[in-house]
Copies of this chain bind each other. A is one copy, B any other.
C-alpha cells in the first residue's frame, strides 16, 4: 500500500527519481525508484535520516516547535522531506530542474494518507 502511494507521487512529478518512507533510525519501510536512481535511494534515505536527526536537535535547541519539512538542494539532486511523526518521515528525490513546488505539494497530500496507515 505504501509503495503504491510513493509510486504515484514519483510518477506525477516530471524529474522525480525516488520516494521513500523511512524511520529516523535509517531503516526504510518502503521505497520506490524510477529507473536506476543514482545514488541508491536506500543510501540517500539513510544519510537523510542522520541529517534529520541533527536538524531536529537544532529545532529543539532553538525551541521553534516541531520539525515539519526539510529541503536540500545540491547541484545534481534535490531532496524534499516531510516529517510524519517522531519516528517516521517520507521523502522525495527529484532532479534539480524538476518542479520542487509540486513535489512538496504531493508530499503534503501524501503525508496524512500514510499517517493513517502507519
Contacts and interface: CB of A to CB of B under 8 A. Distances in A.
A64 B51 contact: no
Q: How large is the interface on A (under 10, 10 to 19, 20 to 34, 35 or more residues)?
A: 20 to 34
B48 A58 contact: yes
A75 B74 CA distance: 25
A interface SS class: mixed
Contacts of A72: 55, 58-59, 67, 69-70
Task: Indicate how many identical chains form the complex.
Answer: 2
Interface string A27-41: 000000000000100
Tell which of A48, A51, A58, A63 has the most Cβ of chain B within 10 Å: A58
Given A69-B73, A72-B67, A54 B62 contact: no
A61 interface: yes
17 contacts: A39-B63, A44-B62, A50-B54, A50-B58, A51-B58, A55-B72, A59-B74, A62-B77, A64-B75, A65-B74, A66-B74, A66-B75, A68-B73, A69-B71, A70-B71, A70-B73, A71-B71
Interface of A: 39, 43-44, 47-48, 50-51, 54-55, 58-59, 61-77, 101
